[in-house]
Amino acid sequence: MREEGAPQKTGQMAGLLGRDDRRSSTEAQGARRKERGTGAGLIEVRKTTPDDAGAIRDIAESLNYVPPGSDKGFLVHVRDEPEYRRILGISTHSFVAEEDGRIVGFLLILTMKELEAVADGIQTRDKVIQYILGLNDRTAVYADQIGVSLEARSRGVGQALAEAMAREHPAAHFLAAIMHWPTQNKVSVRLARRNGWTLRTEIPENGFVWGIYEKLV
């Protein structure tokens, strides 16, 4: 049971919306929200553009991992705005979630070709990246980072982003690295498992242990 005033769960799962059909989908979701009477904002998921880099950087910074861990965030490799802009210029399948027009969440997704292009600029996660690339699986799709702002948590934004990824790649080998140590990122593990992902292996790197999760679809 949720406490009074705690974020309510709308149950609305935003779809993968093209820019042109957003209005009608928005109205449909708005209607569902009204029926449920949650008072929560309206969530939409859309593809990223490089101009989303600043908003993504802001969310990522607020979710920066601070040892030994907190319930706030587990993003170890927060990048600066030019780097997010560069990645968004390469990635063709990343998503942001907007609540009433404001970005509240993001999911950076890279195909293997895109990961190879991005990896030149990623030094600190070499072991994970090299492991993923070393699988030599051209159907592999890497979920590089997911983040939802604190005020938009537990309302299905993360789930909506995960569903958008699955819809975008109906036949793919999904992979992601989730922190297992020094603190297990339990919320992300639950999100992954809820969507059918399983643990493939663990990779120790620079004082961390990463759980490599995967899903074959």
Ligand X SMILES: CC(C)(COP(=O)(O)OP(=O)(O)OC[C@H]1O[C@@H](n2cnc3c(N)ncnc32)[C@H](O)[C@@H]1OP(=O)(O)O)[C@@H](O)C(=O)NCCC(=O)NCCS
Q: What is the CA radius of gyration of the chain?
A: 17
Q: Where are the alpha helices (DSSP H) in 11-73?
A: 22-36, 53-62
How near is the Cβ of 216 to ligand X at its closest, in Å? 20
How near is the Cβ of 176 to ligand X at its closest, in Å? 7
How near is the Cβ of 22 to ligand X at its closest, in Å? 20
How near is the Cβ of 147 to ligand X at its closest, in Å? 4
Which tokens in the block code for residue 124?
């600190």
Residue 39 near residue 8 (C-beta atoms within 8 A): yes
How near is the Cβ of 134 to ligand X at its closest, in Å? 20
How near is the Cβ of 174 to ligand X at its closest, in Å? 13
Closest CB to ligand X: residue number? 158
Residue 151, phi then psi, degrees to nearest 5: -75, -15
26 or 188: CB nearest ligand X: 188
Residue 130 near residue 183 (C-beta atoms within 8 A): no
Cα separation, 136 vs 97, whole angstroms = 31
B/e letters for 89-117, b = 16+ CB within 10 Å, e = fewer, are ebbebbbbbbbeeebbbbbbbbbbebbeb
66 or 171: CB nearest ligand X: 66
63 or 140: CB nearest ligand X: 63
**Contacts of residue 38, Cβ cutoff 8 Å, sequence gap at least 6:** 8, 9, 10
79 or 155: CB nearest ligand X: 155
Q: What is the DSSP letter of 86?
A: H
63 or 132: CB nearest ligand X: 63
Q: Which residue's structure tokens are 């992954």?
A: 192
Q: What residue ranges bind ligand X (CB under 6 A)?
A: 9-11, 63, 73-75, 145-148, 153-159, 178, 185, 187-188, 190-191
23 or 100: CB nearest ligand X: 100
